[in-house]
């Protein structure tokens, strides 16, 4: 990974047409954010994938980030489809459809159910047809923030989560802490990093990113200058910051756009996919080694120019 990847900044989408989402779509209640396969401790089926694990306390924004990544990948970067032959193909299809419909209608995900791992086995096929940018398997693991609090002060994870952390599978970690609560989570994030090291994970060689979510609460949807995110993390998460810097892990910020409460609950009033693009690009490149927008090898460019 290159050095300048260490602090990722949102890009601007070139075909940016961010429009406010209208509310006139009926407010028909969507099914819950369905928990899927409950992994048993000793057996995780279908290990042949790239697993992505979200860490963060309740309401830190994990599900919102997941749905926006899925939405970005499938609406701008390529095709995303459930992987056939996985235990939860059907549920994954339903969940995926809900994610997409809801986010487009401004509906936020429900709270994730405790003690269960939501597993989404997907195949992502990039629009980019370079041979260096192949389709990949992505398995998103989504868990409730309530479970992550279990590890504070020497506690242990629920067995359904332990199973994934102990398994010998390629794992990427997205650590989420929000703009408004980051200062309360320095210790817990450190405990999580401790837990990973206890489980034999070498933090220098696995993909980890720290995401400061709900950045719109700063009054802006981006940073005013390069140091703003650095300073924020240094001030609110001093121990995490030292550790992240010494392992050369990545940092970024996230916002879904704008959220408003009109008395009937919260709705997304403006969908901003730029931060989802940054995270998706980071994810793809850290798994594959080539950026999603790789312009092709010399030979490919030559071939396509005819
Ligand atoms: N202002 C703002 N609020 C956000 C943003 N993302 C999430 N939120 C708020 O945070 C709430 C929780 O977000 P979720 O993504 O469901 O949080 P979670 O981490 O999945 O929570 P659990 O499932 O309980 O662990 C949302 O319902 C919104 O109210 C954001 O980008 N900006
Ligand atoms: Mg959630």
What's the pLDDT at 41?
Answer: 40
- pLDDT tens for 197-227 read 999 999 988 999 999 999 999 999 889 887 9
Distance from the CA of 63 to the center of ligand 1, in angstroms?
Answer: 7
What's the pLDDT at 23?
Answer: 36
Q: Which is nearest to 59 in space by CA: 126, 149, 170, 130?
A: 149
Q: What is the DSSP string of 221-257?
A: SS-SSTHHHHHHHHHH-HHHHHHHHHHT-EEEE---E
What's the pLDDT at 88?
Answer: 65
CB 178 within 8 A of CB 213: yes
Distance from the CA of 56 to the center of ligand 2, in angstroms?
Answer: 9
Q: For ligand 1, which residues put their CB under 6 angstroms from it? A: 56, 58-64, 108-109, 111-112, 144-145, 213-214, 216-217, 255-256, 259, 266
Measured from the alpha carbon of residue 103, the closest ligand is 1
* Pocket perturbation via mutation, ligand 1, pick of 59, 146, 175, 276 by most ligand atoms within 8 A of CB: 59
Q: Which is nearest to 268 in space by CA: 227, 223, 214?
A: 214
Q: Which is nearest to 288 in space by CA: 170, 134, 173?
A: 134
At 60 the three-state DSSP class reads coil
What's the pLDDT at 92?
Answer: 67
- pLDDT tens for 19-50 read 444 333 334 444 444 444 444 444 677 778 99
Could you tell me which residues come within 8 angstroms of residue 191 by beta carbon, excluding any fewer than 6 positions away?
Answer: 151, 152, 153
Distance CA 121, CA 119 (A): 6
Question: How many CB atoms neighbour CB 248 within 10 A?
Answer: 13
pLDDT in single tens digits along all 306 residues of the chain: 444 455 555 444 444 444 444 333 334 444 444 444 444 444 677 778 999 999 999 999 999 999 999 999 999 999 998 887 776 666 667 777 888 889 989 999 888 888 888 789 999 999 999 999 999 999 999 899 999 999 998 899 998 899 999 999 999 999 999 999 999 999 999 999 999 999 999 998 899 999 999 999 999 988 988 799 999 999 999 999 999 999 999 999 999 999 999 888 899 999 999 999 999 999 999 999 999 999 888 888 887 666
- Residue 274 φ then ψ, to 5°: -60, -45
Query: With the C-alpha atoms ordered 233, 234, 235, 237, is the resulting torsion angle positive or negative?
Result: positive
């Amino acid at each position: 990974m290159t050095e300048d990847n260490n602090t990722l900044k949102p890009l601007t989408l070139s075909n940016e047409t961010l429009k406010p989402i209208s509310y006139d779509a009926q407010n028909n209640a969507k099914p819950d954010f369905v928990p899927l396969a409950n992994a048993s401790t000793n057996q995780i089926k279908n290990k042949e994938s790239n697993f992505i694990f979200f860490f963060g306390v309740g309401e830190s924004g994990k599900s919102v980030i997941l749905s926006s990544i899925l939405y970005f990948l499938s609406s701008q970067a390529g095709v995303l489809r459930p992987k056939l032959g996985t235990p939860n193909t059907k549920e994954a299809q339903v969940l995926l459809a809900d994610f997409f419909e809801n986010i487009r209608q401004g509906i936020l995900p429900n709270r994730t159910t405790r003690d269960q791992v939501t597993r989404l086995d997907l195949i992502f096929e990039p629009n980019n047809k370079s041979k260096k940018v192949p389709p990949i398997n992505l398995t998103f693991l989504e868990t409730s923030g309530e479970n992550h609090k279990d590890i504070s002060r020497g506690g242990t994870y629920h067995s359904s989560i332990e199973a994934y952390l102990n398994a010998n599978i390629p794992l990427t970690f997205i650590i989420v802490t929000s703009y408004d609560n980051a200062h309360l989570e320095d210790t817990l994030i450190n405990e999580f990093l401790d837990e990973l090291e206890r489980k034999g994970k070498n933090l220098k060689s696995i993909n980890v990113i720290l995401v400061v979510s709900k950045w719109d609460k700063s009054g802006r949807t981006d940073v005013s200058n390069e140091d703003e995110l650095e300073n924020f993390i240094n001030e609110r998460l001093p121990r995490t910051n030292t550790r992240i810097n010494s392992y050369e892990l990545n940092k970024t910020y996230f916002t879904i756009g704008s959220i408003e409460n009109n008395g009937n609950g919260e709705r997304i009033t403006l969908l901003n996919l730029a931060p989802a693009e940054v995270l998706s690009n980071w994810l793809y490149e850290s798994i594959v080694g080539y950026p999603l927008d790789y312009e092709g090898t010399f030979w490919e460019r030559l071939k396509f120019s005819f």
